[in-house]
Amino acid sequence: MAVRLIFPTFLFHRDITHESLDEKQGVTKEYMGMLRDEMDAMRRRDPVGRQLSNQYTGWQSNDAVESNPIFQKCINRIITAFNEEVLPFHGLDPSVAKLSISNSWANINDKGAWNAPHLHNGCWYSGVLYISADGDEGRLTMIDQHEKVVADFPHSQRYSTSFPFEPRTGELILFPSGAMHMVEPNPTDKERYSISFNTNMEYLTQEAKTGEIENYSRDEFMFDLDNKGNPITSK
């Protein structure tokens, strides 16, 4: 029997820390420390911040982090990740499609802070870059919005209604803006620092909107099962 994945949600993640500060190589943990210091200064200047999905817990800055010169290195690195990996995956190229950060904001989640389930309508991809995180300060959880065809759909690890991440310093996670997600409460006494952002796409040619991928096959997300129901993967 063959299994085909239809309507998948494409989520990208990688560690962007590197010895070099070059935007194409990554950023250093020392640079992350500078960003953390700047976020502390931002909170001192605006201790109230704003309250959206954070449910009056933690601290969230107002928009325009991308216009702060101190954050420019990591903003450039995010755009590079899109240009070199995400756009080609979707059959696009920086020469025909221009991606921009439409808005971005800083988050500091202290003990008990969380973000209620929400999505970011009106954008293309959204994402988060973790400036300081040890993986135990509350998981980022993606939530399945598809209604089940039958009410008693059997519980299966391969068909769950949520997918959690335990993010760490330097991890960049990109996901479609319409994907429902939440941040679980921070059970520790540590503060987690992150930058969240939304992106928009400007197509430079009419043909770019088709997103044609060379040698694309509708079977690229299809696999066979063995006689015990396990996926057969190529070595």
For 188-231, write each residue's pLDDT tens digit.
999 999 999 999 998 888 777 777 887 788 888 888 999 988 88
Q: Reply yes or no on whether the pLDDT at 146 is more than 80.
A: no
Burial of 183 (0-12, 13-18, 19+ CB in 10 A): buried
| pTM given for the model | 0.90
**How confident is the model over 74-89, as a mean pLDDT?**
91
Quote the CA–CA distance of 205 and 95 in Å, as a whole number: 9
Report the alpha-carbon distance of residue 197 to residue 232 in Å, rounded.
37
| Domains observed in the chain | 8-144+160-209 (2.60.120.620)
Give 19-47 pLDDT, tens digit per residue.
666 666 678 888 999 999 999 999 999 99
Give dist(CA 46, CA 31) in Å, integer.
Answer: 23
Q: Count of H helices and E strands in the chain?
A: 3, 12
pLDDT for position 21: 61
Q: Which residue has the tokens 């500078």?
A: 34
